[in-house]
C-alpha cells in the first residue's frame, strides 16, 4: 500500500533503544514503512544500538542519539523525554509518536513545549488496562499514571476495539482510536498446509513467557512423534535446558536461539503455542495465523479473544496450567490441519501497510492541541508541574 505522506511534515519517534521487544518492533516497522513511502522520519533515542537495529537498515530513517547517551534503567525514559524536548525545540517536528506504555514518561517535557513548536503527540497503549496481575491498588495506580502522563496528548491509540472504551473513560479529554497491531508484513508469502507434528513457540527466554510451563506440558503429551522448538534467547536458558534434561526430552525439544524472523519456524510447524503469564497484544498470534498455523494460547492477552474465537483457529487455556496446555495441544494435533488461507485471511487487518496508513492519518490530521496554562519551556525539565489529584 502506498501511503499518502507529506514529506514537509517531519515525524519524530521517541525510542529508548533498539532492544528486543514488541513495542520496539512495532515502532521500527512503522518507521520503515513511513520513510520508504517518502515521509521524513526521525528516531530520537537514548542509545542508537540493539538487536532490532537491522529492521531499519537501508531505510531513509534519521537516527539521533541523545547527547551523551541514555542507558535503559530506572528513570531513563523521563530523562529521554527531557532530551527529546530540547531536540524538538531546536528542530521542530510536525508530530511525535510515543510507542507503548514504557515510553509514556517521555511525554510531559514534550507536552510542555511552547505553542508553535510543540508537535502533535500520538501515544500508543501497548498492554491491557485491566489484567489479572493488576488488581486493587496496582489497578488504581496504573489508571492514575495514565491520567498523569497522557493528559493533554492529541490521540491515544489502542491495539484493539475492546480496549478503546475503557481508555476513553479514563481519558475523557483525549481522542482514543483503535488501530490493529501492524505485525503482518506486506507481500509475505502465501501460507502452506501444515505438516508433521512440530510445535513452535517463540519469545525471550524469561519468566514472563512461562516456557517452563510449556516444556512441562509437552512432557505430558502421549505423542512420541511430536517435537517442540522454542525460538528465542534470554536469561532463563540454563534453567530451561536443565528442565529438558531432567524430563528426558533432549531428543524432542530444541532451543535454537534468537531468530530475526519467525516465519521460517512457523512454516515448519504444525502448531504454534503461546504459554505466557501476561502479554500486550501478542503480535505473534497474528503472525502464526498469517502463516496458516493454528494457535494454542494462555489467556494472557486480548488477542486470544479477538483472534481465536473460531475453534479452527485455535484454543485458549488458563494461565499457568500445564495440564490444560497439554490437553489443548493434543486436541489440536489430533484434528486435521485447517485451511491455511482461512487463517491468514482472518488477520489481513494486521498488515503493516494498512496500519501504517491509519497511523499516518492520525499524525497528519488535526493540528496539535495547545498546551495548558502553565507550560514550562523545554529546558526547564527538572520537575513536572504540580498536578491536581485525581481519584482512581
Which of 130-139, 234-243, 303-312 shows the lowest mean pLDDT across its residues?
130-139
CATH 3.40.50.2000 location in the chain? 11-182+353-364, 198-348
pLDDT at 152 over 90: yes
Question: Percent of the chain at pLDDT above 90?
Answer: 79
Which cell is 46 given? 537514548
Cell numbers at residue 269, please? 510447524
Please say if the pLDDT value at position 285 is more than 50: yes
**What's the rounded Cα separation, in Å, for the pair 66 and 81?**
10
Mean pLDDT score across all residues of the chain: 89
Looking up cell 534434561 gives 245
Domain 198-348: give its CATH code: 3.40.50.2000
Q: For the ranges 101-110, 288-297, 362-371, which has the lowest average pLDDT?
A: 362-371
Question: What pLDDT is attached to residue 6?
Answer: 54
pLDDT of residue 160: 84
Residue 118 to residues 36, 90, 114, Cα–Cα distance (Å): 25, 11, 6
Neighbour tally for 230: CB within 10 Å: 26
Q: Class for domain 11-182+353-364, per CATH? A: alpha beta
Instruction: Say which residues have a Cβ less than 8 Å from residue 280's Cβ, sequence separation at least 6.
Output: 22, 23, 100, 126, 127, 128, 159, 301
How does strand 120-125 pair with strand 95-98? parallel
User: What pLDDT shows up at residue 132?
Assistant: 66
Selected residue with higher pLDDT from 31 and 128: 31
pLDDT per residue as tens digits for the range 170-221: 999 999 999 999 999 998 899 999 999 999 999 999 999 999 999 999 999 9
Worst-scoring range by mean pLDDT, 5-14, 33-42, 238-247, 301-310?
A: 5-14
What's the rounded mean pLDDT across residues 59-72? 98
Q: Supply the pLDDT for residue 390.
A: 27
Amino acid at each position: 500500500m502506498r501511503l499518502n505522506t507529506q514529506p514537509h511534515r517531519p515525524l519524530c519517534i521517541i525510542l529508548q533503544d533498539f532492544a528486543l521487544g514488541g513495542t520496539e518492533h512495532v515502532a521500527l516497522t512503522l518507521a520503515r514503512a513511513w520513510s520508504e513511502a517518502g515521509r521524513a522520519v526521525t528516531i530520537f533515542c537514548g542509545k542508537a544500538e540493539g538487536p532490532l537495529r537491522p529492521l531499519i537498515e537501508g531505510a531513509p530513517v534519521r537516527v539521533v542519539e541523545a547527547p551523551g547517551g541514555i542507558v535503559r534503567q530506572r528513570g531513563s525514559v523521563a530523562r529521554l523525554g527531557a532530551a527529546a524536548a530540547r531536540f524538538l525545540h531546536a528542530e521542530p517536528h510536525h508530530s511525535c509518536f510515543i510507542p507503548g506504555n514504557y515510553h509514556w514518561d517521555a511525554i510531559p517535557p514534550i507536552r510542555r513545549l511552547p505553542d508553535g513548536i510543540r508537535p502533535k503527540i500520538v501515544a500508543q497503549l501497548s498492554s491491557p488496562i485491566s489484567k489479572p496481575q493488576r488488581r486493587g491498588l496496582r489497578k488504581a495506580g496504573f489508571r492514575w499514571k495514565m491520567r498523569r502522563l497522557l493528559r493533554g496528548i492529541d490521540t491515544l491509540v489502542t491495539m484493539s476495539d475492546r480496549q478503546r472504551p475503557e481508555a476513553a473513560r479514563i481519558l475523557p479529554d483525549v481522542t482514543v482510536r483503535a488501530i490493529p497491531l501492524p505485525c503482518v508484513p506486506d507481500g509475505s508469502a502465501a501460507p502452506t498446509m501444515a505438516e508433521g507434528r512440530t510445535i513452535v513457540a517463540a519469545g525471550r527466554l524469561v519468566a514472563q513467557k512461562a516456557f517452563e510451563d510449556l516444556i512441562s506440558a509437552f512432557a505430558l503429551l502421549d505423542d512420541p512423534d511430536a517435537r517442540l522448538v522454542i525460538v528465542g534467547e534470554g536469561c532463563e536458558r540454563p534453567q530451561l535446558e536443565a528442565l529438558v534434561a531432567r524430563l528426558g526430552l533432549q531428543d524432542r525439544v530444541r532451543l535454537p536461539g534468537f531468530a530475526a524472523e519467525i516465519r521460517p519456524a512457523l512454516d515448519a510447524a504444525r502448531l504454534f503455542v503461546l504459554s505466557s503469564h501476561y502479554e500486550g497484544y501478542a503480535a505473534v498470534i497474528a503472525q502464526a495465523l498469517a502463516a496458516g498455523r493454528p494457535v494454542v494460547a494462555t489467556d494472557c492477552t486480548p488477542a486470544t479473544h479477538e483472534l481465536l474465537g473460531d475453534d479452527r483457529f485455535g484454543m485458549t487455556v488458563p494461565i499457568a496450567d500445564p495440564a490444560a496446555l497439554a490437553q489443548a495441544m493434543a486436541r489440536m494435533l489430533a484434528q486435521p490441519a485447517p485451511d491455511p488461507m482461512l487463517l491468514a485471511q482472518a488477520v489481513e487487518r494486521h498488515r503493516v501497510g494498512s496500519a501504517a496508513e491509519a497511523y499516518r492519518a492520525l499524525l497528519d490530521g488535526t493540528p496539535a492541541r495547545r498546551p495548558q496554562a502553565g507550560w514550562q519551556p523545554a529546558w526547564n525539565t527538572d520537575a513536572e508541574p504540580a498536578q491536581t489529584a485525581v481519584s482512581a
